[in-house]
Amino acid sequence: MIYTVTFNPSLDYIVHLPTLTTGTINRTEDELVLAGGKGINVSIVLNNLGINTTALGFIAGFSGDEIVRQLGEFGVSEQFIRLSTGLTRINVKVKATSEETEINGHGPIISDDELQALYTQLDTLQDNDILVLAGSIPSSLPSDMYELIMQRMESKNIRIIVDATKDLLTKVLPYKPFLIKPNNHELSEIFGRPLSTQDDLVAAAKELQIQGAQHVLISMAGDGAILISADGQVFTSLAPKGTLINSVGAGDSMVAGFITGYEQSNGDLQEALYWGICTGSASAFSTNLATKPEVEVLLSTIKK
């Protein structure tokens, strides 16, 4: 089974308007309310690709109920911990013609007992299950949350995928995550210097492998992607051609695509890379998250 954990989910209220003028009334041209959060996105795309998954994490209030309702429409299984107080955060994303503005909610307080309930769920995972840890950690939880989970799972043969940035990513490396997915800019930020060539990126990835990472998947937007395997092989793929519409969720979609390709091909890493980059691109080329037909069209263009 594949599980995703979203510690800080959101209900994203997305509005479009011609211009944004502060200090007065603005009227929208259209609006959309979507369940958000990196792990949730991974679960939705996995389901779209025909892979069963269970979404874990914390929800609260009417905004949390709406996330559950939307996941039900997608057919995604969930076992969220229902918090006793507060609201799942609501993020407002204002998209005007020339600029975008975001107001992100704070989110509810998660108690020690509610965190323990998540631990109890994670303790039921079995060998060869996949666990995706993605996104930020709310302020009410320990900042080393990912490390605590990976330490707890260390005795099991769980394949853990981590999609996070900066210290949240580097601090889990001693626990040997199965896959990490930084993009080229995040790698440059980690190492404190520009990494502008493929050789630079591969060398940086291998440094992270020395620190404990197994596979390293590097996304480079329109420049394609690189996968450095646990045994040091380097796999590459060009990006499919298309028009960028919305990059939100593209990285999460890449993770879902990689898992799908890896599972369907019995561990073929080149195939997993192709699925990853085409699924990420399919989301970027659409107003919604990638669907299987969209991914298959793009696969046919890069595997000729």
Residue extents of the structural domains in the chain: 1-21+29-135
The predicted structure's pLDDT at residue 167: 85
Q: Kindly compute the dihedral angle of the four CA atoms of residues 20, 107, 36, 41, in this order, to the nearest 10 degrees.
A: 150
Residue 299's Cα: distance from chain center in Å? 21
CA distances (Å), 233 to each of 230, 269, 270, in order? 7, 10, 10
304 band by pLDDT with thresholds 50, 70 and 90? low
107 band by pLDDT with thresholds 50, 70 and 90? confident
Cβ atoms of residues 166 and 73 within 8 Å: no
For residue 89, count CB atoms less than 10 angstroms from its CB and return exposed for 0-12, middle for 13-18, buried for 19 or more.
Answer: buried
Secondary structure in 3-state letters for 248-261: CCHHHHHHHHHHHH
135 closest CA partner among 37, 258, 276, 36: 37
- pLDDT at residue 11 is higher than 90: yes
The predicted structure's pLDDT at residue 192: 86
CA distances (Å), 234 to each of 63, 181, 250, in order? 43, 15, 22
Cβ atoms of residues 290 and 257 within 8 Å: yes
112 band by pLDDT with thresholds 50, 70 and 90? very high
Q: What share of the chain is helix, strand, coil (3-state, %, to 5)?
A: 40, 20, 40
The span from the CA of 209 to the CA of 216, in Å, is 8
Cβ atoms of residues 169 and 190 within 8 Å: yes
CATH number of this structure's domain 1-21+29-135: 3.40.1190.20
pLDDT tens by residue, 114-137: 999 999 999 999 999 999 999 888
Count of CB atoms situated within 10 Å of the CB of 217: 27
The predicted structure's pLDDT at residue 14: 87
Q: Write out the H or E segment, with its range, that includes residue 71.
A: helix 61-74
Over residues 176-186, mean pLDDT: 93
β-pair type (10-16, 225-228)? unpaired
Over residues 17-33, mean pLDDT: 90
The predicted structure's pLDDT at residue 9: 93
Tell me the average pLDDT of the chain.
Answer: 92
pLDDT tens by residue, 30-58: 998 989 899 999 999 999 999 999 999 99
Residue with the bigger pLDDT between 115 and 166: it is 115
Geometric angle at alpha carbon 83, from 80 and 86, rounded to 5°: 130
Could you list the active site residues? 252
Residue 88's Cα: distance from chain center in Å? 18
Cβ atoms of residues 168 and 182 within 8 Å: no
pLDDT tens by residue, 242-287: 888 877 888 999 999 999 999 999 999 999 999 999 999 999 998 8
The predicted structure's pLDDT at residue 138: 86
